């Protein structure tokens, strides 16, 4: 996958982490309590793999668990946090996802910050991905953001439209107003991109990429880059959409309109611009949408220059009281950047 990130042009547009998920170690620690990579799956060890990934100009991530075991039944980091943090740093790890299986929820407000402390003590920059809020009924997002760089707060994504749309609805409802916590260095993580797999149509793949851009979501691909359909690859490599996702302000977008199958989301961008996403999440025919800019929060009297993001196509110059008329196919999106004049 590291080779394919480089060869396929993914590294050139910003994808940089190759992340190992659960089940990478042996089921038991060694006599001194150290984690040991499965020698059949990683015959040269994790350090050698990290060195190889780094030689490609990329970064290596790994998986752990706050509890006594990982979700797959492998050794967790409870009672070994300092030792594991030092192990990961010595291997050259650049990112740690810390899950929450086989743990006590009441311990999480203490345990996750402890691992943050030990990761920082290593002196190695390690992106810290927490599953803390995913296990908590009423997460303390301020505390979570103080310790974690990104955090999962909903169900694991599956390769299906129902899964993607369910995650988006959770983010659209925005209970506890978790969107306002997001910013540079701290982001909500709705889970991986499943573009290029089997469960989404072409329109639905465009929808996921656009939604993850508006929601300021980490862009982790869960797919086989060796077998990537060209139309899916084009979506994942779209520089204009990635630019919306990676906007330096780091503000998470929010849903401002939900009427039947039609939704409108907006996200503030740098340079007095706004990302606006119109989506059609169902139906069997093309939807016609007509809205005045004032109805979607675009009220600057001088007006806006609108550009369609996927193709970079000029849409027009609009005053706030003027209406934008668009057509959206079922399960598709119309993503625009509105630059203030």
- Which residues are catalytic, by number? 99, 156
* Beta carbons within 10 angstroms of residue 207's beta carbon: 26
* Beta carbons within 10 angstroms of residue 197's beta carbon: 20
Helix (H) or strand (E) holding 114: helix 108-121
Please tell me the distance from the alpha carbon of residue 8 to that of residue 24, in angstroms, as a whole number.
26
CA–CA distances in Å: residue 288 to residues 99, 213, 306, 307, 332: 43, 23, 18, 19, 12
Q: Dig out the tokens for 215 from the structure.
A: 């929601």
* Backbone phi and psi for residue 161, each to the nearest 5 degrees, phi listed first: -65, -40
Torsion sign over Cα 35, 41, 42, 44: positive
Q: Dig out the tokens for 172 from the structure.
A: 């659209």
Give the distance from CA 27 to its chain's centroid: 29
């Amino acid at each position: 996958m590291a080779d394919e990130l480089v060869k396929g042009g993914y590294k050139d547009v910003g994808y940089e982490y190759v992340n190992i998920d659960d089940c990478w170690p042996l089921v038991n620690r060694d006599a001194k309590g150290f984690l040991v990579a499965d020698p059949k799956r990683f015959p040269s060890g994790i350090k050698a793999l990290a060195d190889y990934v780094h030689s490609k100009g990329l970064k290596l991530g790994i998986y752990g668990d706050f509890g006594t075991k990982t979700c797959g039944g492998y050794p967790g980091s409870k009672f070994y946090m300092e030792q594991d943090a030092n192990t990961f740093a010595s291997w050259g790890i650049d990112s740690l996802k810390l899950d929450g299986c086989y743990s006590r929820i009441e311990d999480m407000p203490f345990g996750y910050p402890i691992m943050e402390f030990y990761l920082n003590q290593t002196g190695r920059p390690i992106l810290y991905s927490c599953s803390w809020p995913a296990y908590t009924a009423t997460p303390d997002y301020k505390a979570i953001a103080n310790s974690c760089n990104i955090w999962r707060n909903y169900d694991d994504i599956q390769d299906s439209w129902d899964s993607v749309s369910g995650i988006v609805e959770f983010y659209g409802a925005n209970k506890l107003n978790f969107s306002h916590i997001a910013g540079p260095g701290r982001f909500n993580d709705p889970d991986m991109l499943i573009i290029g797999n089997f469960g989404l149509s072409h329109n639905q793949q465009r929808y996921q990429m656009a939604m993850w851009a508006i929601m300021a979501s980490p862009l982790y691909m869960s797919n086989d880059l060796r077998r990537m359909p060209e139309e899916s690859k084009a979506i994942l490599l779209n520089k204009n959409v990635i630019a919306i996702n990676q906007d330096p302000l780091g503000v998470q977008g929010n849903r401002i309109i939900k009427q039947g199958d039609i939704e409108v989301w907006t996200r503030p961008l740098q340079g007095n611009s706004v990302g606006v996403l119109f989506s059609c999440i169902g139906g069997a025919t093309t939807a016609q949408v007509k809205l005045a800019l004032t109805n979607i929060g675009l009220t600057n009297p001088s007006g806006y220059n609108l550009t369609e993001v996927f193709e970079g196509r000029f849409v027009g110059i609009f005053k706030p009281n003027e209406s934008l008329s668009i057509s959206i196919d079922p399960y598709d999106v119309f993503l625009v950047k509105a630059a203030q004049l």
